[in-house]
Structure 1
Amino acid sequence: MDPHWLFLLLLLMVRDGSSQQKEVCSKSVVNSCDDCIRSGPFCVWCKQLNYTKDGEQDAARCDTKAKLLEKGCPAEEIVSPSNFINTDKDDPLSETFDLQEPIQLSPQKVSLELRPGLPETFRVSFKRVQGYPVDLYYLMDLSYSMKDDLENVKELGKKLFDTLKKFTQHAQIGFGAFVDKTVLPYTNTNEKKLQKPCDEDYQQCQAAFGYRHVLSLTASEAEFRREVNKQSVSGNLDIPEGSLDAMMQAAVCGDKIGWRNSSTRLIVLTTDAGFHMAGDGKLAGILEPNDETCHLTNNLYTKSSEFDYPSVGQLAAQLAKNNIQPIFAVTKEVESVYKQLSAMISSSEVGVLSADSRNVVELIEGAYKKLSSKVTLTHENLPDNVRVSFTPICKKPIQTGDSEGVCDDVLVNEKIHFDITVTADSCVTDKSFTIRPLGIKDTLTVSLSTKCECQCDEPLIKNHIHCKGNGQVTCGICSCSQGFVGQFCECSVGDKDEQSLRALCQKDNNPECEGRGDCVCGRCQCHSTERGNNYYGKFCECDDEHCEKFQNKLCGGNGKCKCGTCECNPGFKGSACQCAKSDDGCRTENNTVCYGRGECNCNRCECYGEYQRPRCQFCLGCTDPCKTKVDCIECKAFQFGVFADSCNTSCSSIQEIEMVDQFKTLTKECEHKDSKSCWIKFKLEQLTGMDRYKAVVLRKRECPEPPSVAPIIGGSVAAVALIGILLLMLLKLLIYFKDLKEFKKFENEKKKSKWAEADNPLFKNATTTVTNPTFTGE
C-alpha cells in the first residue's frame, strides 16, 4: 500500500477513536443557559417549560444530550450551539512566479466561531512556486584567521550566481563582514592596534570593526566581485567573534540590506570561531541589553560598544519575524557549537567548510535544497486559552509536537496539505492569530470568537404566566421583573421575612454572598468578575480566574480553573497543572523510579535525605555503610557477634548475602575487624530503596596468630644484655675522657715548671770508653 494512503487511513482511525470518546458534562453551579454551554463542549440545555420538578434547581436543565433525551426533554427543545467556520479569502495557488505577488498558501483568511472546548478542524494547502526569488546575504568573518578563506571567496561570485540560477532566474547576492566589538577585552584598543590589528608582517589589514555592511543585495555579478575584492582581513584579541551582532543587524536593517518582499531570504554565515552572546558584554562594562534595532551609519554598526550582544532567543525571533533562514558554513572545529545554535533557530542549516572555504558554494547549494524541501507550518500571536495543533498530509510527514507541522522532501510545485485543529478553552471575543510557513511570507489570518451565549429563538412575552406574571421566559426559565426574584419570580424583595431570606445568603457570618453578589429572596445572584465572567456557587464563593499560575498562564495552560482550583487536562498534574504525568525523567537503569530513594514530581526526582539528583543513586554526606554494617555482616555470614541472637530483626537491611572465595570485580571493598579481632572483607551493593543492601563476603577471615613465648623471652634477655653492654661502654668512654683531660692538665703544668729546663743533677756521663780494634769506621 502507498505510504501516503496508509498515513491517511491511520489518521482517520485516530479521529474515529477520538470521536467516540465518552461525552461528559462536568458542570459547576449553573443558573442559566449561558452558564451551561460554558461548562463544557458536551453540555447542552433543555429550554422546555416545566421541565424541572418541584424544588429542583434549573441546573438540572444542563447535561449531555443523551441524558436530557433520556430524561424526557424533546430533541427540538435542546439548545446546543455548534461551531461555525467561514473562508473569507481563498485565492488559488500560483503555478509559476511572475512579477506579481505569488500565492503559495491557501486559504488566506478564515473566520471561526467556536463553542468553548469544542475543537474545529480545517485544511490549508501549500505549493512552492517554481522560480521563486532568492536573496542571499553572504556574511563573512574577516578576523585574521580567515585571510586564506577571503582570497577564495573573492573568486566565488560567478559560481554563486550560477548555482542560484539552478533554482531561480531572480537571484540577488549581498555581502557583509564582521569581527568583534572594538573594546577591551575583545580588541586591542591601542591606537596603532586599532588601525592595524593584524600581525606586523601582514600589510593587507583594515582597521578594527564590529560589523560592516559592504554590498546591498544585487543581481550584478561584476558588482559583487568588485566590492568583495576590495575587502581585507582585520583582527581581534579573543577567539569568539561578534557573529550574533552582525546577524541581528542584517535581519533588522531590511531597507539597507535590500531584502525583497517576495523572496526566499538567506543569510550565509562563514566563520571558523564560536560566538559571543548576551551577557558577554559585561566583561567590557556593556550592560544595556540589545535593543533589536537597526544602527547602521555609513554602513557601519555604530552602537556596538553601547549595546550587549543579542541573546539566541532575540536573534531567533527577529529571523523568524523577517522570514530569514540562516545557513551556518563553519569549520569542523566549531561544527558542534553551531549545530546547538541551529537547534534553537527554526529553519536553519549547518555545513562544514573546508580549511580554505573552497567548498562553500556546494555547501550553500546543499543547505538550500534541505531548507526549501522542508515545509514547517506554525502559528504566531496565539491568544490565551486557545490551542492549535497541526496534522501534515504529505509523503513524508514529521511529527514534532502540537506547535507546528512539518513535511519533508517536498518538491517544487508539489501540493501538500495540513489539517489545523483549533480549540478555544474559554470565551474569546474578536481575537485573531496567524499561521504561516517558516521562511515564507504567505500567511493565513484566523479570526476567532466564541459562542458563549444561547440563542433560544423564543417569542418575547412580558409578564408570562409561567413566571407568575412577574417576568418573561428566556430559554425556558424566568427572567424576573424588577422587585421580584425566585425560580418563578415568586419572591418579592419587600417580603416581611427579608431578614431570614438574607440569612440564607451568609456563610459562617461572612458578608452576604461573600460581597460578590446580591441576596435576593434567599438566593445569591452573583456579580460579574473584572473579565466579564460570573462568580458562582451557593454563596458566590467561586470564580474561574484566580487559580495558581505557571509561566504566567492560568493553570499552566494545561487545565481549567474551577472555583479557585486547577482541573488539569489528561496527562498533567500539579497545583498549577505544571507537571506532565510522566516519570521517564526519573527512570533508572534498572527500571525503577529514583532507585526507590525519592519521589518523581514534574518528571524530576525529589530525593530523600542527602541522596543526590538526578536519580537519587548516590548519597552525599551519608555515613559509610562499611562501618555501620560490619556487625550485621558478621552475624549474617558467620552467625556470631553482637547481633547473633537478633540477626533477622536487627539486620533486615542486608537483603541478600553471597559467600565467595575471591572477589570478581575490582570495585572498592570493605575491610573491618569483627568481635574476634579477625579481619572480614566484604562488598556492599545498595539495592532499590533507602536501606537495602546485597553483601558479597569472603569466606576466609584473616585472624592473627597467637604470640610465641620463647622468642619473646629470648628477645627480652637479649635486649637487657645489649642495654647492659651499651651502658658499660658508655661508662668506659666517660672514664677515658676524664683520664685524657687529667693527662692534658698534667702536661700543661709540667711545661710550666723551672727544673724541666735544667740538667738533672743525678745524671752522670760515662767515664769509660771502649773501642773495637777491628772496626775501620766504614
Structure 2
Amino acid sequence: MKMKRLVVLVPTFCLFIGALSETSDQNPCHSSEAQKSCGACIAAGKDCGWCVSPLYEKENRLRCDTYENHARGKCDTDQIQFPIVDSLKVDDEDVRDGDTPEEVVQIQPQKVRVGIRPNHPVRIPLIFRQAENYPVDLYYLMDLSNSMEDDKENLAELGTDIARKMSIITKNFRLGFGSFVDKVVSPFVSTVPKKLRSPCNNCEAPYGFKNQLKLDLETKKFSQQVKAAKVSGNLDAPEGGFDAIMQAIACEGEIGWRNISRRMIVFSTDAGFHYAGDGKLGGIVTPNDGECHMENGLYSLSSYLDYPSVGQIVNKIKEKAVSIIFAITEDQFDIYEQLSNIIEGSTVGVLANDSSNIVKLIEENYDKITSKVTLQSKDVGDNITVEFYSRCFEAEEKKRSECQNLRIGQTVSFVAEVTVTACPKDKNLWKRELYIQPVGFQEKLTLELDLICECDCEKPENEEVDSDKCSNGNGTFECGKCTCDPGRYGKFCECKADDVSSTDSIKLCIQPNATVPCSGRGECTCGECVCNARSSDLTQTFSGEFCECDDYSCNQHKEQICGGPTRGVCDCGTCICNPGFNGTACECELSQEKCKTERGLVCNNHGECSCGQCTCDEGYSGLTCEQCFNCRSCRDFEECVKCHADKETECPSDLICPDDMEVVPKLKESLDHQLCRVEDENECFIEFTIFDNEYGEAVIEIEEERACPKPVNILAIVGGVVAGIVLVGLLLLLVWKLLTYIHDTREFAKFEKERQNAKWDTGENPIYKQATSTFKNPTYGVEMNSQEQIDSK
C-alpha cells in the first residue's frame, strides 16, 4: 500500500493575497447564519474563518469573516479556526497492462482520503490508461425462436472467426453463449401439451432463458454448443429478451464473469421485447426483483416474475459495468436505437437476415466502445457534487467527463472536482464513500470523504459547560462565544425568553443618529433587534444590526429589481450583480456577442462595445458600425470599372478614372477594402474593391472572372412545349376512344339482351295477311264480306 500526500490547502499566512477586504454585501461570511457558530461559519464559504478571541464579542466585531480580514484585524492567527482541506493517496499503484502476473490496472490512484469542508471544492487528479491485453468476457445472448434458425447455423460457423478477431485485440479472451425464447405461459407460448413439448418441427420445448455455455477460454466449445442448441417457438412477436439480459448480468457466478474484465453482451434478435407490465397478460403480477434465479442453467422464475422494466435494466447494467452490443435486424433498428440511447456504454448495429455479418458487427462496435472513456460518479448522495475536467488530447482544459479517439496504450488525465454543499444533520454521515468509475469497467477510484462540519473548538473536550462566562452558568462557552441553554439568549445568555425589554436594552437597538429602535422595522429584545418581514410582502425582509437594510429598495431595470433574478439580487439597497452584468441596476451586459459581426469583429473595428451596444466612431453607424458615411461611393467608379474590365473597349476621353486600376485574379478581403459590384451589358456582374493608398488616392482592384447568368436553352423550352401539346392531344384522343368504346359496348349488350327476351308465335307467319275483309254496305244496312258480294253477283 502506498500513501502519498496529494493536496494541502492551508492559507495560514495569506495576509495580503487577493483584493482588499470585501464588503459585507459581497462576503458570504457576514451572513447572519454564518455568525451563529463556528461550524456554520466554515460552511458559509471556502475563505471563511472563525475568530475565538473574547475581544471580538466586546468590540462587537464579526466572528465569522475571511481569513485575510481576521489577520488584518485584531485576531491572532493562532486564534483563527480555519480547518485544513487536504487529500491523501491511500492506494496508488501504477497503471499496467494485462500480460503481467499481477492484475491489470487502468485507473490511478485507486483510493484517496479527502478532508473536505462545505463549499470548498477539492480537485483530485487521476489518470486512465487503456491497457493492452485487457481481459474481455464476451457473452453471446441469442434469440432462439424459430425465425432465427438460419442465424444459429451461421453463428456456429462464425464462432471461430469471432474468437480469432478478439484474440487479435486481447490475448485474455473468454466466450460464452446463452439463448432465450419467452415466458412459458399463455398467451406468450401455446399451452397445448403437444406444443409445450415441441412447438414446431424438430424444436425444443420453450423456455425463458438458458445458459448454454459458461464463459470459457476454450472458444472452440462455442461453435459446438451453438450447433447443438435447438430452436424453439412462441406465439407473439416480442420476445423475453429483458429476462435474459437481467439474468445474464445478475448471475455472475453462473455466467462466469470475472471480477476484473471488460464485460460485454452481444444481444442478437429479429424481434422486439417485452417489458414490465406485459406479464399481466399471462397472470404474472409479481414485479421483477433484479436478482439471479438460475437452476441447472435455466431461469427458474420465468413464469412467476414479471419482465424487468427499462429502468431496472439500465441500473443493473450500470451496477455491474456491462457493455451491450445490440445486433438486430433492420426492421427493429429504430426501437433498439432508442433503447441504446438510454443505456450507457451500449451500441446498436444492423444484423444481416442470416447473421452473416456478426463478426464484422462485433469488431466495429467493440472499437466504438473502446475508443472512448467516460467517467461517472457513483453513490454520491445528497449535498455532494462531482464534476470532471480534462484536456483529453487538446491544450485547453474543459469541463467534460469523456475523451474520445482513445487508442490502446494511451493515457488521458482527468480532474475530479468534489464539492460538499451542506453538512448532514446526522453526524454519522460526516464520513462518506463515493466512487469514480470508467463506464464499462469494474475498476474504480474510491474517495473516502471526511466532512469537516465543525471546528476543533466545538468538540466536547474544548467546551466549557455551564460556564461563568455565560451569565453565571446559563450556557456553554465554546469557540469564544456562549451557546445558551434553552430559555436564554443574548451574547452572554443574559436574556430570558420571557423578559420584557428594558430602557437600557432599547438604547442598544437604536442606530447612531436615529431615534426609533430597530429603524421601526423590528422589535428590540434584550438589546438586539429582531427584524420583521414587510407587511405588504412577507417574502421581502429587513436585515442588519438595526434592521436598516432591505432587499427591495434597489434600482430597477425594465420594471424589475436589479433587472430580475437572472441579472442580480438586492442586498441592503444595493444590487449585487450576477457574473456577466454590472451597473447600479445590473442593466449593463458585459458580453460583447451582440456587438460582433458575422466575421467576429467587435463593432466592425470602428467603435467600442458598451453594455452590449456599439458606440461607433465618427462617420460610422449601424448596430455593428457597418455603415460608413465618409467612405467612397461605388457608383462613382462603375463606368470606369466596366470599360477598364473590357480590354477591347477604350474608355471615353471625357471619363475621369483613377490612375491606379488593376485587374486581378482574386480580390483580397480586408476591412480597408470596400467591396462593390456592377452589371455590364451582358448582364454579368463585375466585382471590384476600392481602398486608399498611402497618399490618400483611390486604388481600384477588379476581379478578372465575372459572374454571368446561365444562358436560357430556348430549343429545350420550345421542344418541351410542343411535346406537351402533342402529349395532351394524344391523351384527349385516348380518352375519347375509351368513352366511345364503353358506349358501343353498352349498346351492343342492350341489343343482345332484347333479342334474347323476344317471343315469336311459331304457328302463324307474322307477315301473312288474309284476303278476306269485312265492311258495311250503306245501301242494304247489313254487313257483308267480300266473298258474299262476289256470290251475289
TM over 0.5: yes
2:415 alignment partner, one of 406, 413, 419: 419
C-alpha distance in 1 between matches for 2:437 and 2:782: 147
Instruction: Report if aligned partners of 1:24, 1:43 keep a CA contact under 8 Å in 2.
Output: no
| SS of residue matched to 1:94 | coil
1:28 alignment partner, one of 12, 16, 32: 32
| SS of residue matched to 2:423 | coil
Instruction: Report if aligned partners of 2:93, 2:108 keep a CA contact under 8 Å in 1.
Output: yes
C-alpha distance in 2 between matches for 1:426 and 1:272: 51
| SS of residue matched to 1:304 | coil
Determine the structure 1 residue equivalent to 2:210: 212
C-alpha distance in 1 between matches for 2:465 and 2:281: 77
C-alpha distance in 1 between matches for 2:439 and 2:369: 10
Cα deviations across residues 383-442 of structure 1 (Å, max 9, x unaligned)? 21111111133127999987xx11112111111111000001112511111111111121
C-alpha distance in 2 between matches for 1:85 and 1:460: 29
Instruction: Report if aligned partners of 1:137, 1:266 keep a CA contact under 8 Å in 2.
Output: yes
Change (3 A) 1:478 1:239: closer
| SS of residue matched to 1:111 | strand
Change (3 A) 1:352 1:53: same
Change (3 A) 1:465 1:333: closer
| SS of residue matched to 2:157 | coil
Q: Give the alignment's TM-score, normalised by structure 1.
A: 0.57
2:241 alignment partner, one of 235, 240, 243: 243
Once the two structures are overlaid, the 10-residue window that deviates more, 94-103 or 249-258, is: 94-103
Determine the structure 2 residue equivalent to 1:445: 446
Cα deviations across residues 582-638 of structure 1 (Å, max 9, x unaligned)? xxxxxxxxxxxxxxxxxxxxxxxxxxxxxxxxxxxxxxxxxxxxxxxxxxxxxxxxx
Following TM superposition, by how much is the alpha carbon of 1:309 offset from its aligned partner in structure 2, in angstroms?
A: 0.6
C-alpha distance in 2 between matches for 1:155 and 1:128: 32
Cα deviations across residues 343-401 of structure 1 (Å, max 9, x unaligned)? 11111111111111100011001111111122111111112111111113312799998
Change (3 A) 1:522 1:260: same
| SS of residue matched to 2:174 | strand
- What is the letter of the counterpart of residue 118 of structure 2? P
2:336 alignment partner, one of 338, 348, 351: 338
Q: Give the alignment's TM-score, normalised by structure 2.
A: 0.56
| SS of residue matched to 1:166 | helix
Cα deviations across residues 100-122 of structure 1 (Å, max 9, x unaligned)? 32111111111111111111111
State percent identity of aligned pairs.
39
Change (3 A) 1:321 1:20: farther
Instruction: Report if aligned partners of 2:122, 2:419 keep a CA contact under 8 Å in 1.
Output: yes
Instruction: Report if aligned partners of 2:389, 2:399 keep a CA contact under 8 Å in 1.
Output: no
2:278 alignment partner, one of 271, 277, 280: 280
| SS of residue matched to 2:44 | coil
Instruction: Report if aligned partners of 2:266, 2:324 keep a CA contact under 8 Å in 1.
Output: yes
Residue 227 of structure 2 is aligned to residue 226 of structure 1? no
Determine the structure 2 residue equivalent to 1:261: 259
Once the two structures are overlaid, the 10-residue window that deviates more, 435-444 or 392-401, is: 392-401
- What is the letter of the counterpart of residue 32 of structure 2? S
Instruction: Report if aligned partners of 2:387, 2:416 keep a CA contact under 8 Å in 1.
Output: yes
Determine the structure 1 residue equivalent to 2:296: 298
| SS of residue matched to 2:169 | coil
2:192 alignment partner, one of 172, 181, 190: 190
Following TM superposition, by how much is the alpha carbon of 1:481 offset from its aligned partner in structure 2, in angstroms?
A: 11
Instruction: Report if aligned partners of 2:178, 2:211 keep a CA contact under 8 Å in 1.
Output: yes
Following TM superposition, by how much is the alpha carbon of 1:245 offset from its aligned partner in structure 2, in angstroms?
A: 0.6
Instruction: Report if aligned partners of 1:387, 1:423 keep a CA contact under 8 Å in 2.
Output: yes
Change (3 A) 1:487 1:270: same
Change (3 A) 1:155 1:36: same
Determine the structure 2 residue equivalent to 1:730: none
Following TM superposition, by how much is the alpha carbon of 1:472 offset from its aligned partner in structure 2, in angstroms?
A: 9.0
- What is the letter of the counterpart of residue 432 of structure 2? K
Q: How does 1:44-63 map to 2 (within 5 A)?
A: 44-52=49-57, 56=60, 60-63=62-65
Change (3 A) 1:195 1:500: same
- What is the letter of the counterpart of residue 415 of structure 1? T
Change (3 A) 1:484 1:263: closer
- What is the letter of the counterpart of residue 280 of structure 2? K
Instruction: Report if aligned partners of 2:97, 2:134 keep a CA contact under 8 Å in 1.
Output: no
Q: How does 1:230-629 map to 2 (within 5 A)?
A: 230-395=228-393, 405-428=401-424, 429-455=430-456, 474-477=478-481, 487-488=491-492, 491=494
C-alpha distance in 2 between matches for 1:195 and 1:151: 22
1:141 alignment partner, one of 118, 140, 143: 143
Change (3 A) 1:158 1:49: same
Change (3 A) 1:466 1:213: closer
Change (3 A) 1:163 1:279: same
Once the two structures are overlaid, the 10-residue window that deviates more, 79-88 or 127-136, is: 79-88
- What is the letter of the counterpart of residue 257 of structure 1? I
Cα deviations across residues 73-124 of structure 1 (Å, max 9, x unaligned)? 5666543334221111111111443343211111111111111111111111
Following TM superposition, by how much is the alpha carbon of 1:259 offset from its aligned partner in structure 2, in angstroms?
A: 1.2
Instruction: Report if aligned partners of 2:462, 2:478 keep a CA contact under 8 Å in 1.
Output: no
Supply the RMSD in Å over aligned alpha carbons: 4.1
- What is the letter of the counterpart of residue 417 of structure 1? S
Instruction: Report if aligned partners of 1:400, 1:406 keep a CA contact under 8 Å in 2.
Output: no
C-alpha distance in 2 between matches for 1:20 and 1:284: 72
Determine the structure 2 residue equivalent to 1:667: none
Following TM superposition, by how much is the alpha carbon of 1:286 offset from its aligned partner in structure 2, in angstroms?
A: 1.1
C-alpha distance in 2 between matches for 1:776 and 1:38: 156
| SS of residue matched to 1:315 | helix
Change (3 A) 1:467 1:776: closer
Change (3 A) 1:466 1:101: same
Following TM superposition, by how much is the alpha carbon of 1:132 offset from its aligned partner in structure 2, in angstroms?
A: 1.1
Change (3 A) 1:523 1:287: farther
Following TM superposition, by how much is the alpha carbon of 1:149 offset from its aligned partner in structure 2, in angstroms?
A: 1.0
C-alpha distance in 2 between matches for 1:322 and 1:483: 54
Unaligned runs of 5+ in 2: 1-17, 425-429, 506-524, 530-542, 545-576, 580-779
Q: How does 1:52-201 map to 2 (within 5 A)?
A: 52=57, 56=60, 60-65=62-67, 68=70, 73=75, 77-198=79-200
C-alpha distance in 2 between matches for 1:88 and 1:204: 60
Change (3 A) 1:308 1:522: farther
C-alpha distance in 1 between matches for 2:160 and 2:396: 37
C-alpha distance in 1 between matches for 2:341 and 2:362: 18
C-alpha distance in 2 between matches for 1:481 and 1:180: 68
Change (3 A) 1:464 1:441: closer
| SS of residue matched to 1:154 | helix
